Amino acid sequence: MRTGRPTAAAAALVGALALTLLGAPAAQAKDTGITVSKIVVNKGKPIVVGTTKEVEPSLTFSITLPAGYSTSKPDRYDAFPFLYRGDLEKAADTGENYIGPGVYTCYEVSSKKADCEGSLYIDPHPSQEQVDSNSDATKWKLGVSLRLFKANGQLAAEEHETRSATVRLKRAAKVTVNATPEPVTKGAKITVTGKVTRANWSTKKYGPYGGRTVTLQFREKGTDSFKAVKKVTANSSGRLTTTVTAAVDGSWRWVYGGNDTTGAATSGADYVDVR
């Protein structure tokens, strides 16, 4: 359970342009005096994105305010981390190569400090520009947006900072499985097939992912864990096929471990009755 009074919340924002204060005059970039620290995105793990499902990686960070500002007045400041590629200011100002927060809430620790938790927001839909190219499957830089507001609501100061940390985005992968025949005579051969595919962010479809080394696993009936049986390399079309000897009842599945640009994937389990 979190303690402390909620001080501020941000709704889902698509592109940095949506972050601009409507109706407020622009302020020249200058030091706001706000400190954002302890930033953790997706618990330090890579973010895996497919072709249709919105992804909301976890986000936590802390805020320390400058003199003259208090967490009791959340309308006087705005501070949050974001991910970007390329030029910091261009990403923040145009929304291109930019991934911002979804919903987050900040909890007052003291009059100057708050701890915040929520998520980033990634939508692979073709109408969005967050992941619209397979080249987006790489390391993204970590930036911070900082704003201070006057008592009348006008923007007093604004700046964007970069951090040394990076966050890797990966294309989602899928693996299918089919074990035949079912049932099978003990001692006979079982053929296990499948296919490896991964998300194409340009076409918004899954395509064959050939040449991948995938592990075949087996779980004997009545046990809780799968055990590795052998490794098989997918052909150029992403297809997997191998044979094993039927010994006992159990389930077969394929497991792909992923790489720098592609997430891990595990197929469903196909049960085979051995008689």
Does a structural domain hold residue 28?
A: yes
Same domain for 21 and 115, yes or no, is: yes
pTM of the model: 0.88
Same domain for 153 and 254, yes or no, is: no
Q: What is the per-residue pLDDT for 254?
A: 98
Mean pLDDT of 155-178: 97
Same domain for 87 and 150, yes or no, is: yes
Which of 138, 171, 204 is a domain's end point?
171
Identify the weakest region by mean pLDDT among 28-37, 60-69, 77-86, 252-261. 28-37
Same domain for 109 and 219, yes or no, is: no
Identify the weakest region by mean pLDDT among 12-26, 99-113, 124-138, 166-180. 12-26
Rounded to the nearest 5 degrees, what angle is found at the Cα of 163, between the Cα atoms of 160 and 165?
Answer: 145
Q: What is the per-residue pLDDT for 21?
A: 33
Which of 137, 171, 205 is a domain's end point?
171
Amino acid sitting at position 94? T
Same domain for 111 and 217, yes or no, is: no
Average of per-residue pLDDT values in the chain: 91
Mean pLDDT of 173-181: 98
Q: What is the per-residue pLDDT for 4?
A: 55
Alpha carbon separation from 170 to 118, 136, 237, 260 (Å, rounded): 21, 8, 21, 7
The CATH number of the domain holding residue 185 is 2.60.40.730
Domain that holds residue 189: 173-272
Same domain for 99 and 163, yes or no, is: yes
Q: How many percent of the chain have pLDDT more than 70?
A: 89
Same domain for 154 and 106, yes or no, is: yes
Does a structural domain hold residue 25?
A: yes
pLDDT at 230 over 90: yes
Q: What is the per-residue pLDDT for 11?
A: 39
Instruction: Convert 33-88 into a string of H (helix), E (strand) and C (coil).
Output: CCEEEEEEEHHHCCEEECCCCCECCEEEEEEECCCCCCCCCHHHEEEEEEEECCCH
Mean pLDDT of 85-89: 96
Q: What is the per-residue pLDDT for 10?
A: 45
The CATH number of the domain holding residue 162 is 2.60.40
Those residues whose C-beta lies under 8 Å from the C-beta of residue 216, and which sit 6 or more positions away, are 192, 228, 229, 230, 231, 232, 242, 244, 252, 253, 254
Does a structural domain hold residue 57?
A: yes
Query: Structurally, how many domains does the chain consist of?
Result: 2
pLDDT at 128 over 90: no
Mean pLDDT of 235-246: 98
pLDDT-derived band at 7, boundaries 50, 70, 90: low
